[in-house]
Amino acid sequence: MKYKVITLLENSVYGRRLQGEHGLSLYIESDKYKLLFDTGASGLFIRNAAELGINLEEVDYLILSHGHSDHTGGLSDFLKINRKASIVCKKEILNPKFKEKRENGIIQNKCFDTSRFLFIDKQTELIPNLFFFPNIEIEDTEDTHFEHFYTKINGAIVPDAFDDELALALIDNHTYSIISACSHRGITNIIRAVQKSFPSYTFNILIGGFHIHNAPNSKFQRIASFLEQNPPNHIGICHCTGIDKYALFCQRFQDHVFYNYTGFAINI
């Protein structure tokens, strides 16, 4: 199965009439299904979709990677225009979230009709050859990005280990491609989870935010070394990775790296 992935929203934008914001939203289309991966920080992704000729009313599934507001802020706007899509996520996504003391979770989460939510808690093949990985085991504790983040569980505010995070794997012709939003639980840990399920498959494309903008270079080195040992054909840098770290990835992986931006399209 082939997929087209179009970035509806990203931190950066290179396209007339399109607009960007700090957030992420990807449109994924196969021959039979139309999906949305995150909704950015507002309804801006809807405007960009219209500029790109994409009708979001036809989306079959909305996937929410985790509960931060820059990935779920456009949820209410999407539900107003799309009456049929199931919202695929983990149930922990509805827990309140904070960055330090600032609220940073899903806005108005108590107002949503949860009958449209499809909560998953195990590896799931949603449509043929499209898999969710909701239980990402942390094998490398150095490649996690939990600092300054908190969540409320049973009335208590505790450090956020991002139990709500999930990643996506697209399978085609004995290859796998991975899409991750922020990789709080670590992109190397996410890749390991997919590799265990498809051990003989070739790593095709990695698209993700790695949450290492302004992080010590040691975090970049850890990810880069792992990718050298487990090389994908192409690495798509986006969202919270940071331009500073994108430059380092370019130095290390050269033409295997591309920068994702609002309006960018790629076939998988």
- Residue 29: the pLDDT is 97
Residue 227 lies in a domain: yes
Residue 267 lies in a domain: no
Mean pLDDT split into 10-residue runs, the chain, 268 residues? 93 92 97 97 98 98 97 96 96 95 82 88 96 97 95 95 98 96 98 97 98 92 97 96 94 96 96
Q: Nearest CA to 46 among 17, 9, 15, 12?
A: 9
Residue 232 lies in a domain: yes
Residue 24 lies in a domain: yes
- Residue 114: the pLDDT is 84
Residue 268 lies in a domain: no
Residue 178 lies in a domain: yes
Decide: 133 and 88 in contact? Cβ < 8 Å.
Answer: no
Residue 211 lies in a domain: yes
Between CA 143 and CA 92 the distance in angstroms is: 21
- Structural domain tally of the chain? 1
- Residue 193: the pLDDT is 98
Residue 147 lies in a domain: yes
pTM score, two decimals? 0.96
Instruction: Compute φ and ψ for 12, nearest 5 degrees.
Output: -115, 160
Provide the CATH number for the domain around residue 46. Answer: 3.60.15.10
The Cα-based distances of 100 to 88, 150, 214, 216, 228 in angstroms read 27, 7, 17, 20, 34
What is the domain extent for residue 112? 4-260
- Residue 109: the pLDDT is 63
